[in-house]
Amino acid sequence: MPIEFSHVSFTYNPKSKIAKKALDDVSFKIEEGEFVALIGRTGCGKSTLVQHINALLEPEEGEVIVDEFISSSDKKRRSKKLHHVRKSVGVVFQFSESQLFEETIEKDVAFAPKNFGDSQEEAYRKAHEALAKVGLGEEFYKRSPFELSGGEKRRAAIAGILAYGPKYLILDEPTAGLDPSGAKAMMDLFRSINESGTTILFVTHDMNLVLGYANRAIVMDKGKVVRDSSPFDLFKENLEDFSLETPPIFALAKTLNEKGMKIDKESLKDVSLFADNILKNKGGAK
Amino acid sequence: MKDFALGRYIPVESPLHRLDPRVKIFATLALVVCLFLPFERSVLHEGKDVTVTAWTISAIMLGIFLVLALLFFAIARINPLKLWSSMKSLWFTILILMILYILLPNFTVPTLGIAFRVEQMNWTVYWDSFASAGRVIGRLTIVMMFTFLLTATTKPLDLTYALQWYLTPLKIIYAPIAEIFAMTISIALRFIPTLLEDVDRISKAQASRGASYSNGGIRRKIVGLTSLIIPLFVSAFTRSEELAYAMICRGYDPKGKRTRYHKYRFHFGDLFFFLFASAVLALFIVLIVTHFDFIESWFKVSLP
């Protein structure tokens, strides 16, 4: 089983006045090759859940299994080799630009591959590849990460994770604070990475991204998983209880559907596909 | 980090918590000074008058202070065992102190007798050494209890205010130290939890990238540590710049006269506590200056 959560609970500051239950009996499985969106209001436990996947936090109750690696509340069952899980799971944290520290960008991006046992040349080769993927060309290699713009820093930080080619990519609000075209380019990059076989779980507040990219959406509320379905099925419901918003394009499709137009649900992923769908229905397709 | 109780405010409702912070600082200082005053007496040694430590009186006084400290803990409704976890880390210091006092005796004439002798090396260890070590440990413990109580019952900002109040005389020489001091301290205190959060966040991000702070060779550890420290500095500097701009935008003027939301008023309790601490200090000074041996004069016995 690639990623499996079984009855995971977690409490911050247990047994104190400020104890806060962040995860409450969370169970789900993620298969290889999925592109999963994790959504829910702020403070519902998304980030806590993310940190369980590569054993930065250990469950208070229950088990998290990633391939062979077991992170469990039961000490006897717990796997010892953190290195393996860290290598197979890449986490891009919120505001990941704050992790940059080296003198040059290529050195910073090569940090993780080197940590996971690559030679100097190998690490730099992977770094260059990753930088090319995120759209930072050769002219950036020798620059200091601290003189970049916010968006460029973010991309350098994401390259720092992509560089070691993790099998599972966890993205905590990867597009927060990026300009719209930069965000789209980033999400398209993640889609292509997903298509080449990497499993992706991303946390977001942007429902358009959920509809446009994910093939599955997990909704959390107050530490529990409350919905786990395809984005299409999810948006059919009234989502205000979870402080989620139906994407405008979906709302439009729903209204058109109610008025008798047939909508192909796959076309909702992209505005121009959706437009073609409408034109075809109107009989005016080119 | 979590278990470290020393220097942390414990929010409970108690008379000690309500006490004016200025009085509390004064009382802590006064009691600590008393604690370190030496009790001495004269003995005749080889035809000369020699001053030696009056051990019985010292021990009684330490006992009184311990009872006093525990009484304060009770009044403040704080479990003294909370201090225990911080004290445990002191056992090594205590051991070193013991050894130092035994190897390097610092008394002129031993009055408590021989503890043991190593004949071959012609080396005598007197009970006085153990008494000295015990006294230092006792004093340190009680100082820790008092200072723990001070910080546990006083909000950091109130402490800053009190310190600032004590520095007010510096205004005579036109030094704006009090204001700058107060603002610096309150900002520093405010940002400790924020920095700790940063440490947590950044160390997790770097751990995900395979950085290691505890495993691997020394080189790896150093690189791991720089990967934490540099981003931490960067974020601290960014934050301080943002904070400075925010303060300027809201019209902060370092020369401006500060007012306080919460005015301190001197209550009867404050006065009482102030007088109590002053009285203890005065009594001790009198006892020390006059070399008054109350055991000898009251019980008609002479003890070391």
Q: Which domain holds residue B249?
A: 177-254
For B234, which residue in chain A has the nearest alpha carbon? A98
Statement: residue B178 has pLDDT above 70: no
- Stretch B177-183: mean pLDDT, rounded? 73
In a domain, A233, yes or no: no
Kindly indicate the confidence band of residue B3, based on its pLDDT and cuts at 50, 70 and 90: very low
Same domain, B120 and B34: yes
Q: Within 10 A of B295 (CB to CB), how many other CB atoms are there? A: 15
In a domain, B165, yes or no: no
Same domain, B237 and B270: no
Number of folded domains that form chain A: 1
Considering only CB atoms, B234 lies closest to which of A89, A146, A161, namely A146
In a domain, B171, yes or no: no
pLDDT at B29: 92
Same domain, B38 and B138: yes
Statement: residue A36 has pLDDT above 60: yes
**Could A98 and B231 be called an inter-chain contact, meaning their C-beta atoms sit closer than 8 Å?**
yes
Q: Which domain holds residue A274?
A: 247-286
Of the candidate ranges A108-122, A188-202, B174-188, the one whose mean pLDDT is the lowest: B174-188
pLDDT at A130: 93
Same domain, B24 and B126: yes
Residue A213: name the closest of A237, A247, A258, A241 by CA: A247
In a domain, B75, yes or no: yes
B interface test, pick of A51, A98, A126 with most B CB neighbours within 10 Å = A98
Kindly indicate the confidence band of residue B5, based on its pLDDT and cuts at 50, 70 and 90: low
Same domain, B1 and B101: yes
pLDDT at B189: 77
In a domain, B199, yes or no: yes
More confident residue, A124 or B130: A124
Statement: residue B291 has pLDDT above 50: yes
pLDDT at A1: 62
Please indicate if any CB of chain B lies within 8 Å of the CB of A87. yes
For A102, which residue in chain B has the nearest alpha carbon? B227
Statement: residue B224 has pLDDT above 90: no
Q: What are the chain A neighbours of B82 within 8 Å (beta carbons)? A: none
pLDDT, tens digit, for every residue of A73-92? 887 888 777 888 888 999 99
Considering only CB atoms, A99 lies closest to which of B206, B220, B226, namely B206
Q: What is the ipTM of this complex?
A: 0.84
